[in-house]
Amino acid sequence: MNIAIVGTGYVGLVSGTCFAETGVNVTCVDVDVDKIERLRNGDIPIYEPGLDEMVLKNVKAGRLKFSSDLASVLNEQEIVFSAVGTPPDEDGSADLKYVLQVARTIGENINRYMVVVTKSTVPVGTAAKVRKVIQDEIDRRGVDVKFDVASNPEFLKEGNAIKDFLSPDRVVVGVESEQAKKILSRLYKPFLINNFRVIFMDIPSAEMTKYAANSMLATRISFMNDIANLCELVGADVDMVRAGIGSDTRIGRKFLYAGCGYGGSCFPKDVKALIKTADDNGYSLEVLKAVERINERQKGLLFEKLKKAFNDGCTERGKTDGVALHGKTVALWGLSFKPETDDMRESTALVMIKLLKDAGCIVRAYDPIAMDECRRRVGDTVIYCRDMYDAVLGADALILLTEWKEFRLPTWGVIAKAMNRHLVLDGRNIFDAEELKDAGFEYHCIGK
């Protein structure tokens, strides 16, 4: 079976490589000639555990190829996936220019039956637009070629993408013909080993499923963050509450961790886009609007706690909020939006760095992987440290934003010696309050 994946971003590269792993001949296509050249030389532009080796292995086996010219490889394919970016427009809706450009190229060059599958997260109705663009080009050329469109949203998580792809909980496929269903069933057959299911449905439902799934997960997180903030006020412990409610199988244990807000390329963008789709249809998604507001507030919560810790300790009369922070040194542990990735899109760290800099703080930052990415985004406004212990040198506070494994069991004695003030703010509730207290630290976390 020959397939092409257009777009070598996160989803495209992982999907293409994993399909090749099942024995399919995959051509990954991208208009970025430099990127394709780099990929051909084994230079993988994203950080994802296990991806480098898998790309190299499949390239060597001749199952994975790269091309910057869709037109020249198009008619060798049975299936063409479109996994190009859909960046948010100013108004929050997904910008479809790349998706429709791919459709145009297909329409201009197609001369055999194939299934054109959209894998990017796109609003309901996009497959119909893709179909129209392809058909218009075919009509313009005056040829008679049949094709099908389909929707196959991707649910993989960064940092766990290969495992998610190769052992998915489910695969959702929206189709409009039996022929497309048969072809896509065959492609996903190698995954059937783990009892996993391909759920076929109509195309609009498949398109909606992705938004609804991400919005539901974001809702769970914002709900727990809201509950966490209330726990603090009434003397409850959100981690106990999580354990208590998560054992109800109707609720389940996953995605109930309170923290300093969700980020990444999906949740913020998809929640915004779904709100916009509803607004465009004259309906207001009230729950999701609150989910978004709570998340924004949560990203600034640790800064509020920091301000409070400093102003509380300030006896001078007339000192206004935040003034006490001026000139203080703050250590940040974790810059990526979650562990095991260098991705900083919508990360709490970006919000925190801005708040700290605006308050006149000196920021000493450390992340196991995302330092270059951070430099690219905020330049030299922060001090990039060698390691987690270097970051706390002379610091008046330590703030943990991302729960990388290496941060979980620090040697507090060494940190106490290095820090100027023994203040720790834990945005992911990973430290042991007793241990910190014994080591002489003032400790604040979320929801207890």
Separation of alpha carbons 375 and 213, rounded Å: 33
CB of 200 to ligand UDX, least distance (A): 19
Kindly tell me which of 15 and 329 has the beta carbon lying closer to ligand UDX: 15
CB of 115 to ligand UDX, least distance (A): 22
In the chain, the amino acid numbered 257 is Y
Q: Let me know the angle formed at the C-alpha of 218 by 354 and 251, rounded to the nearest 5 degrees.
A: 140
- As a dihedral over the C-alpha atoms of residue 31, residue 32, residue 38, residue 43, rounded to 10 degrees, the angle is -100
In the chain, the amino acid numbered 199 is I
Separation of alpha carbons 77 and 16, rounded Å: 13
- Give the bridge partners for 160, in sequence order: none
Integer angstrom CA distances of residue 306 from 84, 226, 235: 40, 19, 20
For this structure, is 28 an active site residue? no
Kindly tell me which of 48 and 78 has the beta carbon lying closer to ligand UDX: 48
CB of 339 to ligand UDX, least distance (A): 8
CB of 256 to ligand UDX, least distance (A): 6
CB of 94 to ligand UDX, least distance (A): 14
In the chain, the amino acid numbered 358 is D
In the structure encoding, which two tokens stand for residue 384, read together? 């990039």
Kindly tell me which of 2 and 205 has the beta carbon lying closer to ligand UDX: 205
Kindly tell me which of 351 and 415 has the beta carbon lying closer to ligand UDX: 351
Kindly tell me which of 172 and 266 has the beta carbon lying closer to ligand UDX: 266
Kindly tell me which of 103 and 291 has the beta carbon lying closer to ligand UDX: 291
Q: Point out the catalytic residue in the list 266, 361, 374, 385.
A: 266
Integer angstrom CA distances of residue 144 from 23, 55, 110, 114: 32, 37, 10, 13
CB of 310 to ligand UDX, least distance (A): 26
Please, are residues 257 and 243 in contact by the beta-carbon 8 Å criterion?
Answer: no
Binding site for ligand UDX (CB under 6 A): 154-158, 214, 217, 221, 255-257, 259, 262-264, 266-267, 337-338
- Give the bridge partners for 94, in sequence order: 88
Q: How many CB atoms lie within 10 A of CB 371?
A: 18
Please give the span between the terminal C-alpha atoms of the chain, in angstroms, as a whole number.
55
In the structure encoding, which two tokens stand for residue 405, read together? 């494994």
Catalytic sites, residue numbers: 266
